[in-house]
Amino acid sequence: MRKLLLLLFLGSALQAAAQDEVTSFREDQIYFSIAYPYFSDAPSELIQNKLSYSFSLGFIRDMPINKKRTLAVGLGLGWESSTVFNNMQFEVLDDAVTATAIQGKYQKNVLNMQSFAVPFELRWRSATELKHAFWRIYSGMSFHLPIQLTAKNTSLEGVQKSTSLPHSSTLLRWNIHFGFNTWNISIAHDLRPWAKSNTTNNSFDIKFTKIGLIFYIL
């Protein structure tokens, strides 16, 4: 909390320093994204099947730091939900996560995740007060507070099993968003895992890389 307050204070101070003889427009306060998540650290026996997906929605306070307002910092709050289809049965054994490749057939096997996000970005854009179609590059880090990590399996007979998995208290993710006007590419990579999973031969981090599209609203 102290770090967040410090970031807000620094952002406000930088913004105030750039207020002389400038216009007052801001950019890209509300965001929505859709992405494809995939395991970035996983054993060869782990296979993602069907179409995994991730959604995020949030608000970022845009704080320009130069007179032209083409540079800014952003600090916000958001929510994210991901669904990752795969062939691993995740379970809990002695308070640890284990993963075993499913040998037989099944209807559906999925890993569900939800988290609150606190993004912090350095933003560049070619915008002006009257120019609403412009290039942008936003990059930074986001801190995530996991609220759900659940493994769900549905057998061929329709029997459903849901297992809540222990997870990290905080996550750290690197993000970059770039594009022109409406269409913007979003790339995100977990630097800290959701959890560490033990398999028969070794262990791997449950963390993801996500590639998709992000849309902004003033």
Mean pLDDT of 153-170: 94
Q: What angle do CA 211, 110, 46 make, to 5 degrees?
A: 75
pLDDT at 2: 52
What separation in angstroms does the CA of 21 have from each of 16, 66, 103, 124, 130?
Answer: 11, 11, 67, 20, 17
Q: Of all residues in the chain, what percent carry a pLDDT higher than 90?
A: 72
Whether 47 shows a pLDDT value over 90: the answer reads yes
Name the band, by pLDDT with cuts 50, 70 and 90, for residue 66. Answer: very high
* Residue 184, C-beta contacts closer than 8 angstroms, at least 6 positions apart: 136, 177, 178, 213, 214, 215, 216
Euclidean distance between CA atoms 102 and 109, whole angstroms: 9
DSSP 165: P
* Average pLDDT of the residues in 48-69: 94
- Least confident stretch, 12-16, 35-39, 79-83, 145-149: 12-16
